[in-house]
Amino acid sequence: MPARKLPLLSRLRDILQLRFTDIFAALSPAALADISPANPLKRLARVLGYAGLRLVGNISRPINNRADLRGNVWLYVVSANNYDALAFLAEARTDAVLVAGQGKNIGRYNAVVNRLSLRRKLLYYWQFPGALWGLWRQVGPRALRFFDFVFYAIGYYEVYRRALRHYRPRAVVFSNDHNDDTRSLLLACRAEGVPTAYVQHASVSTNFPPLGFDLSLLEGQDALDKYRQCGPIAGQVALVGMPKADAYLSRRNTAAAVRRVGLACNIHDPLPALTETLAYLLLELPDLTFTLRPHPSDGRDFGPLQRRLPGLQWSDARAENVFDFLLRQDALVAADTSTHLEATLLNVASIYYRFAANPLTDDYYGYAARGLVARADTPAALAAELRRLAAHKPTDLYRRAAYYNATLGTPDEGRSRERTASLLNDWLNEIAPTT
């Protein structure tokens, strides 16, 4: 049964939920500058660029999809990580098609994802002034600080409702629950009565929106406990483990000592602190090999760091899968990233180390507090922990991940893909049987 249409401001508050949280507003200036510049003129320039390239530019750009979207199960993706999390369902079901918004950057998969036209998004920008004023009255200065996000969000809901009416998908499967275009499509599905499912693709936090899908397939108890703190949970929930890790669990690291150390960083890790920490480690631990892996969305200039530390090795996250990277490491050092969990599953010793000092993001996923990973708070403590691991690395570290991965240590270990596909099939047959 289609849901009642939400008023514009209610929709935008839902769509932009994460953008108006305290933790988002408290991100470092460097991290925010990459996604929403502090200078309002630079924000305006980005908005105009978005309007020109993504909106006006889409008017004359044809949509040539590889697959028929009518009546099929949509696997909706907003990133390469989402694609990796859902692609196995496209292999398991002949009626499953991978879908993204027109112009959305899906990295190395851009050419193989089907697209939903966003041409008509332009028709709804008359709503922007009133929406910005209304949000300012509700959330205060944050509405103006993030007016660019408000602008980007306008029109998604209406365009996606039109696409749903046109194609009538059997269901939409998501792997992200907090991006503006994802939230918009979820609300559009509710309004049009299209069933929705969610397959978790990375660790979650208590700052996420409430779980609002008809079926949610989560990795483990950790995710369920956190979503319970986010608000009421709608629909059915099942714990399925981590499908993307299935192929790697049989290849766990068996080294008895650490010799190779990977460092994962993202835009939230300041380059000066990252550089100084690496320089210290390379000097203190010359017998260890260090490899730096910037997040695929991290577009900063790492040239000066490369020139200063020629002995540092590199992993290109745009070309190398995170599990392939981890298989080449004995230990991982990182701040707030779900790579800690993936490392532990492969029995790679993982250490939580912060390169920034934002108190609101300290141990963001709770990995250190729950004992999944070790913690070091200074470069000296980090070096000491690596020395200890260089002398002896336990062979059963992966067992710590059972709280996060429901199939670990069970007969279904390594079969999360089959379990996910089976539960999804049963659900589809129940709520949207084929004729």
Number of C-alpha atoms within 13 angstroms, CB side, residue 202? 18
- State residue 356's pLDDT score: 81
Altogether, the residues listed in the chain come to a count of 435
Q: Check if the beta carbon of residue 97 is closer than 8 Å to that of residue 115.
A: no
Angle at 416 between CA 410 and CA 422, to 5 degrees: 110
Q: What backbone phi and psi angles, to 5 degrees, belong to 408?
A: -60, 125
Q: What backbone phi and psi angles, to 5 degrees, belong to 289?
A: -100, 125
Cα-based distances in Å from 406 to 47, 204, 400? 43, 15, 12
Q: Could you tell me the residue ranges of all domains in the chain?
A: 8-242+415-431, 247-403
Task: Spell out the per-residue pLDDT of the chain, length 435, in tens.
Answer: 455 567 899 999 999 998 998 888 877 777 787 788 888 999 999 888 888 776 777 777 778 898 999 999 999 999 988 998 999 999 999 999 999 998 888 888 998 999 999 989 989 999 999 999 999 999 999 999 999 999 999 999 999 999 999 999 999 999 999 999 999 999 999 999 999 999 999 899 898 999 999 999 999 999 999 999 999 999 999 999 999 999 999 999 999 999 999 999 998 899 999 999 999 999 999 999 999 999 988 888 999 999 999 999 999 998 898 999 999 999 999 999 999 999 999 999 999 999 987 777 789 999 999 999 999 999 999 999 999 999 999 999 999 999 999 999 999 999 999 999 999 999 999 986 655
Q: Which amino acid is at 195?
A: P
Tokens of 90: 């496209």
- State residue 182's pLDDT score: 96
Residue 263 pairs in a beta bridge with 292, 333
- CA dihedral over 297, 109, 326, 349, signed as positive or negative: positive
Element spanning 73, H or E: strand 73-76
Task: Please indicate whether the domains covering 8-242+415-431 and 247-403 agree at the CATH topology level.
Answer: yes
- State residue 4's pLDDT score: 58
Fold of 247-403: Rossmann fold (3.40.50)
Residue 196 pairs in a beta bridge with 172
Q: What backbone phi and psi angles, to 5 degrees, belong to 44?
A: -65, -40
CATH class, range 8-242+415-431: alpha beta
- State residue 299's pLDDT score: 84
Query: pTM, whole model, 2 decimals?
Result: 0.91
Element spanning 271, H or E: helix 271-284
- State residue 31's pLDDT score: 74
- Classified as helix, coil or strand, 260 is strand
